[in-house]
């Protein structure tokens, strides 16, 4: 459920008319709904009620500082994968003891940053990383709390580019070697082992892979405890999927996911962390664009819009589907036409949808791409020298620009011409 609905024939973001935002901010832009973000966070928080838990928002899905502050103020922790994301979480006012540091390639500088600024735990992904983290912690006269990310060799049944829990994926250490690796961690004086971490992939639409993975984590918890490790925290990752197409089968609900967690690991008495990104932010955002031209090809109609693959790369990168809706509500029963919806970039990959059924649209009509809150603005670039597009946050009947559109000058002045020229 989200808060982007038609009212009196106009698409709204909560109580704000989207056409009104477009008139003030210009197109294209991203718009996010406060009520939807908070609602989705609360669904997870409630799903784990009765267990000691922390819901850590996966910052990489939507990293605007205003969004992080909104969720942080509501009680969320943060899951970060870089020094930049760590600093964003801190800039949003989240305290270090609610920030978890994930990722396979943490540098010494990033480790130092987090150890000095405060960190809940590092999710360590390899033996070399363990050794470096121990050294960095000792050099700062401190001890780094860690979990080890284990790879449970479970098929998440999701898109190959976002599957992370099979043995051929680059993430974590094989669960079969976990006891050996924990024994090594226990010997490193700069580390304190506190738990286990697992994350098997993103956009999962079934619960079974989670069940298989968490069952293996429960087994490992008992083994590690019998080996003498003090396992008090389980980080169970993110990955619960969202419906991208309205007529799709809906993925499992956070409530069902929470019940599964209780069933599989509830008896262990551990503090539970989860790291959802997409389910919190995905359906809390729209990309709004304007039709530039309607072009008739030999056997198809092209809708050329002012947003492009640099603004939203998911269709080009993952063959992702985004529902596309006109901002002015179509008259009931109006004939629909198949359009290829494309951006202006000089690549055939700059195609958002092929043969998409839409009511007839004219130049200057506004369209909204739904489910564009997660992995959308954060993956944008300035390819074709198209400045990054603004982000807008709506709350009830108010809205604010939370990242402004750079001017062409801002963009060009980041380059410098060497003195010798
Ligand atoms: C990407 C990622 C997440 C979030 O995944 P979603 O599918 O957005 O819920 C959580 N944890 C880790 C380690 C990740 O890499």
56 is catalytic: no
Q: Is the CB of 163 under 6 A from ligand 1?
A: no
Res 264: pLDDT: 98
Give the Å distance between the CA of 102 and the centre of ligand 1: 9
Any idea which of 73-77, 129-133, 148-152, 241-245 has the lowest mean pLDDT?
A: 241-245
Mind listing the domains of the chain with CATH numbers? 4-31+282-413 (2.40.37.10), 34-279 (3.20.20.10)
Which of 1, 160, 332, 346 is labelled catalytic? 346
- Residue-level pLDDT at 253: 95
349 in Cβ contact with 31 (< 8 Å) = no
pLDDT at position 248 is 67
Instruction: Report pLDDT digits (tens) over 60-111.
Output: 999 999 999 999 999 999 999 999 999 999 999 999 999 999 999 999 999 9
> What pLDDT, on a 0 to 100 scale, did the predictor assign at position 313?
98
Q: How many whole angstroms separate alpha carbon 86 and alpha carbon 80?
A: 6
pLDDT on residue 297: 86
What percentage of the chain reaches a pLDDT higher than 90? 92
pLDDT beyond 70 at 182: yes
- Judge whether 217 and 196 are in contact, CB under 8 Å: yes
The model's confidence at residue 279, banded by pLDDT at 50, 70 and 90, is: very high
Q: What's the 220 CA to ligand 1 centre distance in angstroms?
A: 22
Residue 199 CB–ligand 1 contact under 6 Å: yes
- Atom of ligand 1 minimally distant from the CA of 204: 7
pLDDT at 247: 66
Over residues 318-367, the pLDDT tens digits come to: 999 999 999 999 999 999 999 999 999 999 899 999 999 999 999 999 99
- Determine the Cα–Cα distance for residues 277 and 280; give it in Å rounded to an integer: 6
Q: Which of 41, 239, 372, 378 to mutate to test the pocket of ligand 1 (most atoms within 8 A of CB)?
A: 239
Q: Which residue has the higher pLDDT, 169 or 39?
A: 39
């Amino acid at each position: 459920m989200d808060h982007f609905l038609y009212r009196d024939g106009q698409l709204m973001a909560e109580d704000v008319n989207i056409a009104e935002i477009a008139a003030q901010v210009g197109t294209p832009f991203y718009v996010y709904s406060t009520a939807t973000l908070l609602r989705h966070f609360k669904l997870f928080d409630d799903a784990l009620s009765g267990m000691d838990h922390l819901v850590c928002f996966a910052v990489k899905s939507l990293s605007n500082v205003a969004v992080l502050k909104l969720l942080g103020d509501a009680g969320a922790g943060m899951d970060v994968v870089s020094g930049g994301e760590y600093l964003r979480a801190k800039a949003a006012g989240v305290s270090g003891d609610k920030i978890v540091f994930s990722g396979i390639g943490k540098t010494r500088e990033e480790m130092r940053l987090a150890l000095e600024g405060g960190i809940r735990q590092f999710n360590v992904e390899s033996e070399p990383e363990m050794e470096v983290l121990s050294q960095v912690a000792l050099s700062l006269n401190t001890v780094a709390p860690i979990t080890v990310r284990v790879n449970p060799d479970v098929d998440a049944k999701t898109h190959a580019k976002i599957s992370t829990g099979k043995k051929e994926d680059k993430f974590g250490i094989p669960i079969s070697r976990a006891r050996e690796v924990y024994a090594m961690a226990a010997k490193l004086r700069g580390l304190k082992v506190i738990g286990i971490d697992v994350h098997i992939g993103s956009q999962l639409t079934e619960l079974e892979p989670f069940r298989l993975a968490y069952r293996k984590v429960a087994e490992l918890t008992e083994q590690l405890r019998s080996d003498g490790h003090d396992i008090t925290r389980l980080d169970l990752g993110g990955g619960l999927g969202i419906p991208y197409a309205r007529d799709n089968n809906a993925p499992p609900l956070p409530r069902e996911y929470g019940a599964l967690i209780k069933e599989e690991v509830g008896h262990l008495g551990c503090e539970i962390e989860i790291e959802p990104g997409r389910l919190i932010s995905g359906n809390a955002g729209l990309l709004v664009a304007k039709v530039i031209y309607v072009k008739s090809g030999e056997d198809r109609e092209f809708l050329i819009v002012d947003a492009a693959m640099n603004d939203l790369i998911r269709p080009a990168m993952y063959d992702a589907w985004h529902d596309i809706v006109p901002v002015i509500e179509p008259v009931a029963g109006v004939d629909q036409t198949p359009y290829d919806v494309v951006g202006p970039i000089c690549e055939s990959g700059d195609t958002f949808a092929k043969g998409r059924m839409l009511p007839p649209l004219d130049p200057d009509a506004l369209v909204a791409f739904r489910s564009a809150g997660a992995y959308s603005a954060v993956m944008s670039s300035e390819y074709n020298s198209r400045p990054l597009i603004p982000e807008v946050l709506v709350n009830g009947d108010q809205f604010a620009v939370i990242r402004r559109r750079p001017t062409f000058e801002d963009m060009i002045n980041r380059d410098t011409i060497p003195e010798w020229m």
